[in-house]
């Protein structure tokens, strides 16, 4: 049976990527060696790292604009800490849109003052706060572009003279915009970019070197940039599979093309949520994420039936996060439209048979 | 042609592991899903993490002795920092046996005072310093059990009332000893344990919680222990392949059995280095590593010939590190005796034909 993988992350990657990634474990580039057993200093892997760094900038339209791309470890959680280590001299401004923003705020507080410019915690993060001011005395403004758990997404970003830092873990490479608005972008790989185990950081070099504290080598963006993401052994395989996925995306037509497909998938599912009287969406309509759709049954007694129909249809990974409940369908880049159609069909079937 | 992979790391892993690791990319546990696309909170992966944590303790004979095993990211370089974050209140004692010890010392200095009890830098780290005293006023003693770059290995560890911390990145699971002498052991996976991308940390729980500084969540061993190594998304695939490799080791008879094979491989190569007049070993004989043998040609003009003979024989990865020069043959657990025989044959052939 075909599985429709709506997992929130780690999540579905393109089937072609799995094929090539599997082959590389046995024999990489016809070397007779597995990609897992070659030196990270070998020509073969240095080429992978260089291409991964350059294609990530290319996909975002950020080449030759003063940005550097590095692949680190530790996920977004490590970036909560590294951002503060490298940028927080006095005060950071943070927009609180959910669990991950809250965690970023918590870690930043160890390094300086944090000004939470606005929060949507009052309604369990079911919307994106608007109409906030970014103070002029902060070192930077930090936001989370997409909130995987709650299913909200920032559609607009503020104009601010302060450097803007954005956690794009769950929607990077999914929609087009002017990425040069941002001074630092980071994203754990395990949604649209690759498998768990590496984190992409894209940073404007001019932003760095301004704090007075001493930064440990592994926490220092400048060190990783200078060493071209090879200060120490990088997570070889995670970077390699990320490269395959980014190349796949480029071959699909890049971010603009994938955004159209993502919009189509999201519209299909949200239409059903709105039309079908058995379901209701969790978030404010204008803040709906095109990556993660969160919704609930109006009548919880239908849960068992709906779950079993989903299972029969091969639908996987749509249980909501415990802090929201209900359902969450994650529709990352590699999820085919067909999978959303199957889910929508099941939702309609439930309505007909309920 | 069969490749004999003497790479210093990332390095050879068992062929059976590559087979299973490749298959899991396409279809894990007959789930119809790739191991790269399943949630780290899924039953399937939680079972992997639990088994990996428990088998690592089992292999070292450290179950039920107050130790916890966690799988982190960032390699040994991140541990240089985390050890200091978690343990260095006033002063740490460090033995300096090479590049990695030196880096550990550098990072620790950001957190407190460092007492270098002895160093072998005077002879470019070609021996292990002996006869040092560990001061009584330090928080812990830190050492590096095996020095990948220089090819030296500690054969004995000091008796000290202070907690002993050991970087075992390049010889973990390769030789038997009483591991309960150590209070904290860490090892980047990419030698004997698995692919690059995860780091095993084994720590006596009673050691933690004694420093007064506030520790960022990702730096805090207690956080990772409490969350059973799932504080955030772990490096799923690197942990999975590490588990496969540890299970392979257990099936081989465990550390005792592999140590015998490692000794045999090392003896074969070092005998040739000592007997063959064309070569000389780099390190003090009593400190020779059974993992990484470093040696030089007495007559550099033979280099081209030797290199081409090695290449013809399928020998890969024996170039010495730039800070030592010459050759380095790494003979990790998964390297078969046959590969060492091939190398020794080429060395003998060179002698006959030189």
CATH number for the domain that contains residue B276:
3.90.1150.10
Instruction: Tell me the per-residue pLDDT of A199-251, one tens digit each, with 9 for 90 and over.
Output: 999 999 999 999 999 999 999 999 999 999 999 999 999 999 999 999 999 99
**In this structure, are B160 and B120 located in the same domain?**
yes
Is the peptide bond prior to A10 cis by the omega test (within 30 degrees of 0)?
yes
**In this structure, are A108 and A179 located in the same domain?**
yes
- pLDDT at site A91: 98
CB B168 within 8 A of CB B289: no
DSSP summary character for residue A155? S
CB A328 within 8 A of CB A294: yes
**In this structure, are B47 and B67 located in the same domain?**
yes
Global confidence as pTM: 0.98
Reported residue count of chain A is 354
- Position B293 in a domain: yes
Confidence of residue A190 (pLDDT cuts 50, 70, 90): very high
CB B81 within 8 A of CB B142: no
User: Which residues of B are less than 8 Å from A218 in CB distance?
Assistant: 74, 77-78, 80-81, 107
**In this structure, are A247 and A259 located in the same domain?**
no
- pLDDT at site B354: 77
- Position A25 in a domain: yes
Q: Which of A29, A35, A46 is nearest to B12 (CA)?
A: A35
State the average pLDDT over residues A54-69.
98
**In this structure, are B77 and B51 located in the same domain?**
yes
**In this structure, are A70 and A169 located in the same domain?**
yes
Confidence of residue A278 (pLDDT cuts 50, 70, 90): very high
How close is the nearest chain A Cα to the Cα of B250, in Å?
21
Strands B184-188 and B199-204: antiparallel
CB of A114 less than 8 A from some CB of B: no
Choose one of B251, B276, B293: the last residue of a domain. Answer: B251
CB A330 within 8 A of CB A316: no
Beta-carbon contacts of A304 under 8 Å, excluding residues fewer than 6 positions away, are none
| Domain containing residue B115 | 15-251
Q: What are phi and psi of A173, to 5 degrees?
A: 65, 15
- Position A9 in a domain: no
Stated as kind and residue range, the H or E segment containing B315 is: strand B315-316
DSSP secondary structure string for all residues of B85-153: HHH-SSEEEEEE-SHHHHHHHHHHTTTSEEEEEEE-GGGTT-S---S----TT-SEEEEESEETTTTEE
CB B251 within 8 A of CB B326: no
- Position B5 in a domain: no
Give the nearest partner residue to B232 out of A77, A216, A234, using CB atoms.
Answer: A77
Question: Exposed (0-12), middle (13-18) or buried (19+): which is B177, by Cβ within 10 Å?
Answer: middle
Reported residue count of chain B is 354
- Position A59 in a domain: yes
Q: Do B214 and A23 touch (CB under 8 A)?
A: no
- The CATH number given to whatever domain includes residue B31 is 3.40.640.10
**In this structure, are A201 and A141 located in the same domain?**
yes
Looking at this predicted complex, what is its ipTM? 0.98
Give the nearest partner residue to B32 out of A3, A34, A107, using CB atoms.
Answer: A3
Structure tokens, B302: 């033979």
- pLDDT at site A215: 98
Choose one of B206, B225, B251: the last residue of a domain. Answer: B251
- pLDDT at site A1: 82
Mutate to test the interface with B, among A82, A215, A216 (most CBs of B within 10 A): A216
User: Residue A341: is its pLDDT beyond 80?
Assistant: yes
**In this structure, are B270 and B163 located in the same domain?**
no
Choose one of B203, B227, B251: the last residue of a domain. Answer: B251
B209 Rama sector, left if φ>0, alpha if ψ -120 to 50, beta otherwise: left
**In this structure, are A209 and A276 located in the same domain?**
no
Residues of A (126-185) whose Cβ lies below 8 Å from B: none
CB B277 within 8 A of CB B121: no
- Position B8 in a domain: no
Structure tokens, B9: 């790391």
**In this structure, are B51 and B174 located in the same domain?**
yes
* HSE, side-chain direction, 13 A CA sphere, residue B53: 21
Q: What are phi and psi of A108, to 5 degrees?
A: -65, -35
Give the nearest partner residue to A5 out of B18, B37, B74, using CB atoms.
Answer: B37
Confidence of residue A354 (pLDDT cuts 50, 70, 90): confident
Count of domains for chain A: 2
State the average pLDDT over residues A77-81.
98
- pLDDT at site B311: 97
Strands B67-72 and B199-204: antiparallel
- pLDDT, averaged per 10 consecutive residues of chain B (354 residues), comes to 95 98 97 96 97 98 98 98 98 98 98 98 98 97 98 97 97 98 98 98 98 98 98 98 98 98 98 98 98 98 98 97 96 98 98 90
- Position A3 in a domain: no
- Position B2 in a domain: no
State the average pLDDT over residues A117-139.
97
**In this structure, are B75 and B200 located in the same domain?**
yes
CB of A109 less than 8 A from some CB of B: no
**In this structure, are B260 and B285 located in the same domain?**
yes
Question: How far, in Å, CA of B295 to CA of B291, rounded?
Answer: 13
Instruction: Tell me the per-residue pLDDT of A80-90, one tens digit each, with 9 for 90 and over.
Output: 999 999 999 99
Beta-carbon contacts of B332 under 8 Å, excluding residues fewer than 6 positions away, are B9, B11, B12, B174, B191, B192, B291
């Amino acid at each position: 049976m075909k599985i429709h993988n709506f997992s929130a992350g780690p999540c579905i990657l393109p089937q072609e990527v799995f094929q090539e990634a599997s082959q590389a474990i046995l024999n990489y580039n016809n070397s007779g060696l597995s990609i897992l057993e070659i030196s990270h200093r070998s020509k073969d892997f240095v080429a992978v790292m260089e291409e991964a760094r350059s294609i990530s900038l290319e996909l975002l339209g950020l080449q030759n604009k003063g940005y550097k791309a590095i692949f680190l470890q530790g996920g977004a959680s490590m970036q909560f800490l590294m951002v503060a280590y490298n940028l927080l001299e006095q005060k950071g401004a943070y927009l609180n849109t959910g669990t991950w923003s809250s965690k970023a705020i918590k870690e930043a507080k160890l390094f300086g003052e944090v000004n939470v410019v606005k929060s949507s915690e009052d309604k369990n993060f079911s919307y994106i706060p608007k109409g906030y001011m970014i103070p002029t005395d902060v070192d930077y403004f930090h936001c989370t572009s997409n909130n995987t758990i709650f299913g909200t997404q920032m559609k607009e970003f503020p104009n601010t003279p302060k450097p803007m830092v954005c956690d794009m873990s769950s929607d990077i490479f999914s929609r087009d915009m002017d990425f040069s608005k941002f001074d630092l972008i980071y994203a754990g790989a395990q949604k649209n970019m690759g498998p768990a185990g590496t984190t992409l950081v894209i940073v404007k070099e001019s932003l760095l070197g301004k704090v007075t504290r001493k930064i440990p080598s592994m926490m220092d963006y400048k060190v990783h940039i200078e060493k071209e993401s090879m200060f120490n052994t990088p997570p070889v395989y995670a970077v390699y599979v990320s490269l395959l996925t980014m190349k796949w995306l480029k071959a699909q037509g890049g971010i603009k093309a994938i955004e159209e497909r993502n919009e189509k998938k999201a519209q299909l599912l949200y239409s059903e949520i709105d039309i079908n009287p058995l379901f209701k969406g969790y978030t404010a309509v204008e803040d709906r994420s095109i990556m993660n759709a969160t919704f609930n049954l109006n009548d919880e007694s239908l849960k068992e039936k709906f779950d079993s129909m989903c299972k029969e249809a091969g639908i996987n990974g749509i249980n909501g996060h415990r802090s929201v409940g209900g359902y969450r369908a994650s529709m990352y880049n590699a999820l085919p439209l067909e999978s959303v159609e199957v889910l929508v069909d099941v939702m309609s079937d439930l309505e007909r048979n309920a």
